[in-house]
Amino acid sequence: MTAESAANTAAAGPATEELYHTNLLRLQAKQLLSESILPLSSQTGFLDEEVKWTKDVQDYLEVVQKTICTIDAAVLSPDDVVMNKKGAACASTSSDGKGKNKHPKKQKEQQQTQQQRTCWIQLHSDKAKKHFEKKEDSADKNGDSNQQQQQQHKWQIHFPGGDYLQTSCINSYAANGAGLTTATANANVIPTLDLAVLLPAQSRNSSNDDEEEDASGVMIGGKDYLNGRYFDKRNIFAIHLAKYLSQKKQRKHIGSVHVLNELDGDYRKVSLILTPPIPDDGSSETKKNSTKKRKNCESTSNDDAQQDKKKKKDKKKKIRFRIRLVFGVQFDLSSRKKVDCNTGGWIPSARLFPNRCNNKIVQLPDQEGVANNNGTPNYNNALADDMHHLSSTQILSSVSSVALKVFTETWTLLKIWCLQRGFLRGHDTFSEKSLGLSLAYLYRSKLVSVRMDSIQVFTVWMKLMSDTDWMGDKEKLAKKKSTDVNKDNIRHSSSEAYQDLGISSTPGQVSRGGIVMPEINLNEQQTILNCVQNRLHASDVKKNANNDDGTTKPKTLLESFKMNTDSPIFLDPTMTVNYFANISPCFMREMQVEATKALKCIHFHGDSSISRIEPFRQLFLEQQRFWRRYDAYVKMDIKDIAFYSNTELKTNLKELEFWGDDAQDLGAYSAISRGIAKLLRMALGDRITALRLLTTGNGDTTNMLNASSTEFGTRTMVDSDEKVFVPIRSTSNSPYTGFDGSIVSPVTDGVCQVKTITVGLRINPDTCHRFVDRGPPADDLESSSAFVSLWGERKAQLRRFKDGAIIHAVVWNDVEHDLKNGRVQFEGGAKAGDIVERIVRHIFWKHFCKLDTEDLPCPQFALRNITSLVETVQKGSNGEKQVNSSEQAQKEIKSAFDSLVGFLRQNTEVSETPSGISVSKLGLPLRIDAVEALSPCLRYSELFPPAPHPLLGGENSSSTSKKVSGAIVGEPILIQIRFQGSSKWPQDMNAMGAAKCAMLMQLAEGIENMKSRGDAACSQFDGPMNVMPTYLDLGYKGYSFRIIVRADEEMKMLNSLRNPSQEALALKQILQKRHILSAGHHFTIHGVHTKHPSSPQVVRLIKRWLAAHMLSGLIPGEAVELLVASVYIDPAPLFTPTTVSCGFMRCLHLLFSHDWLREPLIVDPEGHIGPDQRSDILSSFERSRGPELKTGPPMFIISPNDLNEDGDNGSSSSSSCRPSFTVHHPERVVLGRICALARRSYDFLMSSSVRNLKSAQDHNSWRSIFQESSNSLKSYSILLRVDNELIYDTECASTGGDLTLSTKAEKIATPFQRSLEKRSLGPKSLRRKLYKNLASSDSGVIYSWNPVNEVVARLRSELGHLAVFFYNEYTPDVIGCLWRPDAFKGQSFSAMYSEYKRPIDNQWEENSLVITNASDVMRVIKSIVQDVVVDVKILDDRSIKSKSSDEGGTKDKNGSGKKGLSGSKRGRSKQDTSSDSDDDSSSDEDSD
């Protein structure tokens, strides 16, 4: 979007602007679709354009289908899935249904045997368990000799052979290719085509009840639908088929075979991934011929060999597709009854009702599970889904036949939108099939027409997802609002509120939404009425109407689904399959939030705030996966979790259990994960706005499988979906060890599935700091009992409140420190989620942690301790902290500032004397109208806020030390005063400066006069008063203030000049930046920091990160504040961060992801910049960059203050649209270094401290990004070692700083706290003893004592054109110098630029007569740093090379010419003294 079009669109009005953006979105989407859609269909010639390798796909599928049909009949057993020979296959632990183990003495032995077994897949059925138990018992009694008796105890599965199998293409490929995308649009996942392999089933009319299937031609039948038997059968056959397809004779045609232990999020089912072989084009024959030739001819030219390699490389073809084998069940159409038309006859249709129990096996590896008779809706749905692969494909195919183009385009857009957010192919998210079916629902239900384009259909789908009350939350909210008097109408403050335990979606909410896929030519209601399954359910309800057990019973089948499952409801036309059965409630809530955001993004409104990221990029291009979406992440080990609700361990506690009774339906992991999400949502309430568990589909999109690798068929592979592809031909050294019966997460660590659960939390900054949760009223016994059961009797206690209520309540104001586990509470942490973390930990300990654990696990937020760099430890019961927290220090500084403002304004009121002279108490002729803050510490941005100094009227912050610093090591608190308007100001610029200085002198003299008269108002002034030409330094209430004068008449005088000189223009820019822009910037940033409590800490953390990498002073502090402000006020497409760690990570990401070369960064906190002004900014940016993008400020940051720098009453001409604080700094090379460091730091934190936390030590791995390694110092040209006597704070050192939490006298100190204490003491040489009778006026306190900063400033001022100087302003122990690339290049002679130059003695070239004199440069450096630096080391020898090559100098034996230049040796470290042996000679050379 160009600047002119944006301006014209803005002038036309909001409606035209919205139309413009909609049309632009259509054009951009069209371009995206042209590059994303994969034209591939199972029907030849159906598509207008097809990929060139369509025939290859069809041929490969034909080969696979023929090969599957050739498999011989066999008798299978659970032993076929065993990977090792130590034991039999892995079986799950179950019970006899009464909660007791039949063989308690052998339980431990069985668990040890299970741990020895490693299996390709997990087996879940009761028959698999009995198979191994009887086999082990028989082996113990009779040994291995009685093979016949062991054979009788086997669970034998008769497979009739490949002729009885049915294969068919399903899903996208069979639906005319709708939904297929290229690998780039598929998150770098190779396109996968689904092929269904349907097993033969036997009708229940001809099947024996629980006997083995003897009938020929069938494999599934009887009561295989019970207790996981069917799933074990299909999975055992899948492994058998995988082994057959991976045989050497099949490998040439089939390629690689991998096992995938899931199918669309269902981990009961196994699928196979087939990767076609790479065509060799007769390479095998060529290889044989070449072998014969080598025998006959021993010598071959190297050129011919290289050409042969090149030809082979060119012949290699890229793997473009994969095949996924999906297993299911055939329908026995000949013998099915009418009521069993949805099940194929082998399952009674009533058994698929969501309230029926078909599984009583509980998978608990370390404890015995208790089965119950609860309904198993998820298990039943998994059975039904395997019988409807073809029917689901028919629905997709019918819709695609009617509206193929738009249907395909919309499906592709939805797929990209979901993949960018991690909403596809996860274990509880959309599958590609369910996503396509939800889109087909829009066409079947007439919500969209075939005439609508893809963007319109995309919008309708978002509206469906957003408006449907899937979880019943909207109904609850409406009831709560409609109630005049409810439990929330209690008198409470922001620190306490009522805890509502009914906020989580649980089964039983009939009012929540649900949809049914309509049949063709029928609407949804007619489909429900004509459904056979629905009528069967109605008759079943009528039959059991007299059985009244006191519970609410569903009247319809749809109500039965709503009451028995917590998943969203989307039923197929037969009402037996729920397409959304695997979708969890927490995912659906998050998806609805994102759908609402997408609708707002699509419906662009001109009156809304404009994001820096355009709508199209927000929707489809910006990645927003799990690891970027949330404020805090916490990991929990599955091994520490116990199913208390399924054991007898807590029966004596008589507490209500909230989770775990659905393990037999969902499986162990899903029961745990959904239980954690449910309980945390109940406990946290409105303290969070989103909660999500990590799923597959959230990996790095750059992680793409390399199918061309020769080891592809034998190596474990993980793509960006983070799913493990296990090769069936794995080698002996394969890292994959199989399943040992333990509970594992579907998420992988790159090799195998991990045993942790990761929870992401988005924290509500408005309510997260609440420390009191009030329980329900005392008369509500049921709710009170649930409240106590949730929190525990020790935590939920009866309390009396000010309104007279005596109720149970939970209080979170206690302070607990656990240094062993790194769990420390920091000051101000409540506003950044500290209470949320404690609640998460309490819920985990109370409801999930094992009782017999010796050391309780300590779940904690990732990167939580990074706050220790900018904050102190919270005050506890073990003692008082030595220094104030940063927040308290800022408040005290603000209080002192307000007091000083009051003094100045009150004592400058002008009154006339009897002689007629107007004068104030301070002797000033004009009244001070305003006092404006300019200092960073007054907007909470100073890393180390100044502490009250005893010699300036403050109290001694250190109770143990009797000495105080004789210098203020930090910058004074900068403020400016504005006098009332007057015509008496001089009209000459020099006189104006003298008048301002005179005002400051009179102000200082007036304060001294008032003190001498004993005026009580001046009692807070202490310390010396230093008047300089442009400022006044004084001490007030222990703080050092620096006062400057802002004279508006001076600016008016400069603006009135018609032909200003260069000096006048330079002075104008300086005054504008010092007085006007700085004041506006302070007001803007102060507003952002007040609104977002964690943003000041992020600013200070970024400053410390920059200083740790020796980048102090190379990027303005105002630019850092604007960067952080942009993260908080314009977080799109994400949400505003709440925690310090999240804000810090987002800021690092912004630094390296923003295109500084082509885009400006517009920071507009209050929405003051309109569309026309934005177009002016873009035009100004384009002009400054130039056509080759090589000019202008490298970091182009614009805020509303930059538009009014000319003081023209808000007009924003294009000439004024330029950055104020980043015009000259950072330089291009510095910005590149910052962006590179930001990327490396972000990637390191994400990989080590966020994603892959494995131990308590990993929580502290973040320290590495705040330190420079000794090797990194070698990248500088020169290193200047600063005298140790000038270093007063070693905690912030770039190479040796201590970033750990320390303890002393039972008090915990953070690095920030230790730095504050050392900075308050100052340098040792300037420390003074503190006496009670010491007169502060004679104390001689030094203001702004920063000798190293002054040295670096001088080096940059005098030698900045030759080198870049790096240092750490907080611990300036080393100054690094990096030569510029053209520092020692030959130049043409010019008298104006002849400083530090000398003529070239030989090798003259055109326009190259002089060169930089290295000796002069080093001599100047030594003269500047002579009192500060004790050692100089030269690492880059370019300066010496240029001299030696020009003068015929010699090099060392290595030819490097590396020399060291050293001064005094005092203070050198051991590392420095072990440097080059040429130091002495280099010092002699420099002295010449």
CB 783 within 8 A of CB 776: yes
| pLDDT tens-place string over residues 494-507 | 677 777 666 554 56
Other Cβ atoms within 10 Å of 491 Cβ, number: 10
H or E, element range at 1269: none
3-state SS assignment for residue 1168: coil
CB 386 within 8 A of CB 199: no
> What is the token pair recorded at 1311?
């690095």
**928 bridge partner residues:** 979
Average pLDDT, the chain: 81
Q: Identify which of 1060, 1033, 1055 has the alpha carbon closest to the alpha carbon of residue 1044.
A: 1033
> What is the token pair recorded at 121?
């897949």
pLDDT at 1305: 67
Strands 717-718 and 724-727: antiparallel
**756 bridge partner residues:** 637
| Statement: residue 837 has pLDDT above 60 | yes
Q: How far apart are CA 838 and CA 1055, in angstroms?
A: 59
pLDDT at 306: 52
| pLDDT tens-place string over residues 1357-1415 | 999 999 999 999 999 999 999 999 888 888 888 777 788 888 887 666 666 788 888 88
CB 1203 within 8 A of CB 1219: no
| Statement: residue 313 has pLDDT above 70 | no
Could you tell me the end-to-end alpha-carbon distance of the chain, in angstroms, rounded to an integer? 62
Rg, the chain, Cα only: 38
CB 582 within 8 A of CB 428: yes
Which residue type, as a one-letter code, is found at position 418? C
| Statement: residue 1079 has pLDDT above 80 | yes
Q: Rounded to 5 degrees, what are φ and ψ at 1405? A: -130, 170
714 or 1043: which leads in pLDDT: 1043
pLDDT at 126: 87
- What mean pLDDT is predicted for residues 1120-1136? 93
* pLDDT bracket for residue 966 (50, 70, 90): confident
| pLDDT tens-place string over residues 421-458 | 999 999 999 999 999 999 999 999 999 999 999 999 99
Residue with tokens 């354009």: 49
- Residues in contact with 374: Cβ distance below 8 Å, sequence separation at least 6, in sequence order: 357, 661, 662, 664, 665
**750 bridge partner residues:** none
pTM exceeds cut of 0.85: yes
Residue with tokens 């999240």: 1142
* pLDDT bracket for residue 93 (50, 70, 90): very low
| Statement: residue 872 has pLDDT above 50 | yes
For the four alpha carbons of 1462, 1464, 1467 and 1470, in that order, the dihedral sign comes to positive
> What is the token pair recorded at 400?
């695609």
CB 692 within 8 A of CB 626: yes
Residue with tokens 């509120």: 497
3-state SS assignment for residue 346: coil
- What mean pLDDT is predicted for residues 955-970? 73
382 or 201: which leads in pLDDT: 382
- Residues in contact with 764: Cβ distance below 8 Å, sequence separation at least 6, in sequence order: 686, 687, 688, 689, 1138
| Statement: residue 1126 has pLDDT above 60 | yes
pLDDT at 1027: 93
| Statement: residue 340 has pLDDT above 80 | no
- Residues in contact with 729: Cβ distance below 8 Å, sequence separation at least 6, in sequence order: 246, 256, 257, 713, 714
pLDDT at 1132: 87
Other Cβ atoms within 10 Å of 302 Cβ, number: 7
Q: Rounded to 5 degrees, what are φ and ψ at 1412? A: -65, 130
* pLDDT bracket for residue 82 (50, 70, 90): confident
* pLDDT bracket for residue 64 (50, 70, 90): very high
pLDDT at 1480: 37
Which residue type, as a one-letter code, is found at position 268? R
Q: Rounded to 5 degrees, what are φ and ψ at 773? A: -115, 115
Q: How far apart are CA 621 and CA 615, in angstroms?
A: 10
Omega prior to 1133 cis, within 30 of 0: yes
Q: Rounded to 5 degrees, what are φ and ψ at 776? A: -70, 165
CB 40 within 8 A of CB 57: yes
E-assigned strands of 1-48? none
CB 588 within 8 A of CB 470: yes
| pLDDT tens-place string over residues 1150-1161 | 999 999 999 999
- What mean pLDDT is predicted for residues 147-151? 57
| Statement: residue 485 has pLDDT above 60 | no
E-assigned strands of 949-1076? 963-965, 973-979, 1026-1027, 1032-1036, 1039-1046
Percentage of the chain exceeding pLDDT 90: 42
- 10 Å CB burial of residue 48 (0-12, 13-18, 19+) is exposed
203 or 42: which leads in pLDDT: 42
Cα 475 to chain centroid distance, Å, stands at: 32
User: Range with the lowest mean pLDDT among 476-480, 712-716, 1017-1021, 1028-1032?
Assistant: 476-480
Q: Identify which of 824, 878, 845, 886 has the alpha carbon closest to the alpha carbon of residue 1259.
A: 824
- Residues in contact with 153: Cβ distance below 8 Å, sequence separation at least 6, in sequence order: 130, 131, 134, 135, 138
Return the ∠ at Cα 621 (arms to 620 and 627), rounded to 5°: 100
Pseudo-torsion of CA 824, 830, 836, 838, nearest 10°?
30
Percentage of the chain exceeding pLDDT 70: 77
**Secondary structure (DSSP) of 581-617:** TT--HHHHHHHHHHHHHHHHHHS--TTSPPPSS-HHI
Can you give the three-state secondary structure of 653-709, one letter per residue?
CCCCCCCCCCHHHHCHHHHHHHHHHHHHHHHHHHHEEEEEECCCCCCCCCCCCCCCC
Helix/strand number for the chain, H first, E second: 43, 37
CB 963 within 8 A of CB 1330: yes
Omega prior to 1024 cis, within 30 of 0: no
Q: Rounded to 5 degrees, what are φ and ψ at 973? A: -80, 110
Q: Identify which of 1156, 1104, 1158, 1157 has the alpha carbon closest to the alpha carbon of residue 1126.
A: 1156
CB 1186 within 8 A of CB 1165: no
Instruction: Give me the helices (H) in 470-556, please.
Output: 473-482, 524-530, 532-543
| Statement: residue 871 has pLDDT above 60 | yes
Helix, strand, coil fractions of the chain, as percent rounded to 5: 40, 15, 45
Q: How far apart are CA 902 and CA 328, in angstroms?
A: 82
pLDDT at 339: 54
Task: List, edge to edge, every strand of the sheet that includes 772-774.
Answer: 496-498, 772-774, 806-811, 797-800
| pLDDT tens-place string over residues 658-677 | 888 888 898 888 999 999 99
* pLDDT bracket for residue 221 (50, 70, 90): confident
Return the ∠ at Cα 883 (arms to 879 and 884), rounded to 5°: 100
For the four alpha carbons of 855, 856, 857 and 860, in that order, the dihedral sign comes to negative
pLDDT at 14: 61
